[in-house]
Structure 1
């Protein structure tokens, strides 16, 4: 499996140069073995990541990290602002967010904007949330299953 030896006959002029071994290493079997090992590891790696299924015991202890009520700032179609379920004036948005941040700590603020609201208004609300001290701001949208199923929307004017 390793080396092949080729003995060549010289023209007979020299006694020392009778048979000379010529060794060549054939790497094709080694490459085949490595490719098989690569495939085995590619198939086995996802199986090693999965955990062992266990049935956890029940306890009456409280969770360590109780999930807080999410901070959602909503811009309605008529331009009104709402923090969670409380309507608020645009001038009072920053002080109210700062007070909520002092009470609850820093977290993620989710901003929702009605699709009829102007893009500039939504960006202004994002800026105000940033000015209030929150570092993590996310925009919320609604999933459209019809858009996910269609491969591509036809261009305007296309049949």
Structure 2
């Protein structure tokens, strides 16, 4: 009787079954927790004092919107008394920025106006060529 010893060659394959099990468990965990993370939470936003513009800076263009949704534009320190349409406001802002692109643009909105109107005004100013838009606030009491 002859005993044949066969030499076993090492197997160079990785067993991926445990990794697949772990990945499926992680997938299920993420699928369950993702909707919980994206829900909003009611918060009270903090009040803070904003720094005023420097005295040396150019006078800003102030695009205002009142509680009735009417637009106004103050340029060079001259307040506007007459309401204007959104297209007129955009044309005036674009013309002023063509003359002086460094002019700061600020939005002044009534506190009673809906947030949607403020965003629409900011988008209108951006399309008119304003590189950045600031928000005007009252000093903290």
Structure 1 length normalisation: TM-score?
A: 0.46
What is the distance in 1 between the residues matched to 2:84 and 2:99? Answer: 18
Aligned-pair Cα RMSD in Å: 1.6
What is the distance in 2 between the residues matched to 1:80 and 1:71? Answer: 16
**Deviation of residue 69 (structure 1)?**
2.3
1:79 to 47, 64, 69: 69
1:97 to 93, 107, 123: 93
What is the distance in 1 between the residues matched to 2:135 and 2:129? Answer: 17
Report which of the two structures shows the higher radius of gyration computed on alpha carbons.
1
Hey, what does 2:134 align to over in structure 1? Answer: 138
Query: Can you give the 5+ residue segments of structure 2 that lack an aligned partner in the other structure?
Result: 1-55
What is the distance in 2 between the residues matched to 1:80 and 1:116? Answer: 13
Higher relative contact order (CA 8 A, sep 6+): 2
- What is the count of residue pairs matched by the alignment? 80
Structure 2 length normalisation: TM-score?
A: 0.52
Would you identify which runs of 4 or more consecutive aligned residues in structure 1 move more than 6 Å?
A: none
1:47-62 counterparts in 2 under 5 A?
none
SS of corresponding position for 2:64: strand
Query: Can you give the 5+ residue segments of structure 1 that lack an aligned partner in the other structure?
Result: 1-65, 146-159
